Chains A and B, each alone.
Chain A
Amino acid sequence: MIGRGRTEVHQISVSEPKLSDHALIEATKNGDEQAFSEIIGRYRNPITNYLYRFLNDYEEAVDLAQETFVRVYFAIDRYHTGFAFSTYIYRIATNLAISELRKRKRRTLLSLTGLFQSDPEETAEYQPKDDRPLPDEDLIESEQNQIIARAITALPPKYRVPIVLRDVEGLSYEEVAGVMGLGLGTTKSRISRGRALLREKLDGHV
């Protein structure tokens, strides 16, 4: 009887189009897989876009976005509804992206160490530029967009995270501060500093 009642509640909840994130989370906690699908549907594109702009590597971005949802799924019982879900999921994605950057750094170091005595031109072969075409023809960016994307990637992560969240994803300052776990003042300062760095990098292109 209880199970049936619960199922009914979930069916109603999933059919409700404007259900809050928290309600969907609660439903997922209670075993409603459709609710989780709804969460994925809401955040799959923003998270993929965020990670793509952060890493400038589409396949890696998709992979990390999927990993983000897996993490959310397994940590859903520990999620507190006192925080906005968007902040929570962006934070997970950010942590994964920063870990990926560290891995890349290690790989670069290893490859450079391994090829210490080799020709520098050969070394370059081990760190190829990511020239893979994007899956959609529409996504082929103009030259200017590529320059901007490279400039973003060249920013240190402490500035890259708030810049992408604020200027690309359009999150509010408060939300960015929540994702980064920083105060509002520090977040604004980093965004400002990040923009200044971008301005320097894009000098002549903008």
Chain B
Amino acid sequence: MKEDPSENLQLVDQQVSKLLHNLPRVGSPGDFEAKVRSRIANSKSVPERKWLVPTFASASLLVLLTFGFIFWLSGDSADLVASQPPTEVVDSVPTSPFAQPNTVVDKPTDPTPANIPIAGREIAAERRRIATRSDVRNRSNSRPPTESPEDGSEVRLLTPAPTINANVGSTARVLLKDYFPMIGVDASFENNAWVVRNVAPETIASRIGVIQGDVVESIGSVRLAETTTLDGRELENKITVRRGNELKTLERRKP
């Protein structure tokens, strides 16, 4: 008669189980309870420090928030410092070529942190850096920058005064890097050309159609180099830009 292998295994399993069950049992030492009591007493005497975790977490959060706030404020105050009105008023500054008489002055938004969404802060800072027409007009009239103009519109000077090669008489020259902000353009000299990096909305440049990426070839009849300066005679209502492979002349439409 054949033996069933599974039955055989079952028997061995039972044998193993029995062996385990017959292992001598180990008892606990006599001072077992005393030691348990001692441990309990020791644990009770140690003050619970569960509060440490939430306290530490909230303290860390507070510190982080404080630093974040300070960082945010410092960034914003740097912008505000940059937007302080100039203390020096130049006697004679050429008027922006695109300035229109009796135009309503662009009124920059209040640069307080609460009014500027974080995502737009960079743009707002950029806008504050760019000079408005009203700055130029104020300076040309030698008026204090915060004074109201004759047309009653409010003027706020928010950009630093451009470095102007003040010249004797009425032929003061202005550097290109200072000229561009006057018309609302943020340009940089790259690869031997003035490239428009940004155009502020509601400025002369944006109205005549200058866009980001344009290469400014000439202003009026003056071809531009890095150190080109312009004087009042050269500031005409015409800018020539290279847009891709195309050369475009942009000028203010006369009413």
A residues contacting B by CB (< 8 A) are 37, 40-41, 44-45, 47-49, 52-53, 58, 61-62, 65-67, 69-70, 73-74, 134-136, 138-139, 141, 145, 148-149, 152, 163-164, 166-168, 170, 192, 195-196, 198-199, 202, 206
A163 to B20, CA, bound (A): 9
A152 to B9, CA, bound (A): 19
Do A206 and B12 have beta carbons less than 8 Å apart?
A: yes
Main secondary structure of the interface of A (DSSP, over half): helix
Do B29 and A145 have beta carbons less than 8 Å apart?
A: no
Q: A62-B28, A202-B16, A206-B15 are in contact. Are A44 and B33 (CB under 8 A)?
A: yes
Do B33 and A52 have beta carbons less than 8 Å apart?
A: no
CB proximity of B189 to chain A, nearest CB, Å: 59
CB proximity of A29 to chain B, nearest CB, Å: 15
A139 to B36, CA, bound (A): 23
- 13 A-B pairs within 8 Å (CB atoms) are namely A40-B33, A41-B33, A44-B32, A44-B33, A45-B26, A49-B26, A73-B36, A145-B24, A166-B17, A167-B21, A168-B23, A199-B9, A199-B16
Do B25 and A152 have beta carbons less than 8 Å apart?
A: no
Whether, in the assembled complex, B43 has its beta carbon less than 8 Å from a beta carbon of chain A, the answer is yes
Residues 26 to 46 of chain B near chain A (Cβ within 8 Å): 26-29, 32-33, 35-36, 39-40, 43
Provide the residues of chain B in CB contact with A139, threshold 8 Å.
Answer: 24, 26
Name the 4 nearest CB pairs between A and B, nearest first. A167-B20, A48-B28, A44-B28, A52-B26
Which residue of chain B has the shortest Cβ distance to A198 in the bound complex?
Answer: B16
Which residue of chain B has the shortest Cβ distance to A141 in the bound complex?
Answer: B24
B residues contacting A by CB (< 8 A) are 9, 12-13, 15-17, 19-21, 23-29, 32-33, 35-36, 39-40, 43
Candidate in A62, A66, A138 with the most chain B CB atoms within 10 angstroms: A66
Provide the residues of chain A in CB contact with B36, threshold 8 Å.
Answer: 40, 66, 69-70, 73
Provide the residues of chain B in CB contact with A66, threshold 8 Å.
Answer: 32, 35-36, 39
Do B23 and A62 have beta carbons less than 8 Å apart?
A: no
Provide the residues of chain B in CB contact with A195, threshold 8 Å.
Answer: 13, 16-17
Which residue of chain B has the shortest Cβ distance to A33 in the bound complex?
Answer: B37
A2 to B25, CA, bound (A): 44
Provide the residues of chain B in CB contact with A152, threshold 8 Å.
Answer: 20
Do A62 and B32 have beta carbons less than 8 Å apart?
A: yes
A120 to B173, CA, bound (A): 86
Do B32 and A40 have beta carbons less than 8 Å apart?
A: yes
Provide the residues of chain B in CB contact with A45, threshold 8 Å.
Answer: 25-28
Provide the residues of chain A in CB contact with B24, threshold 8 Å.
Answer: 138-139, 141, 145
Contact of B26 among A134, A166, A196 (CB under 8 A): A134
Provide the residues of chain B in CB contact with A148, threshold 8 Å.
Answer: 19-20, 23
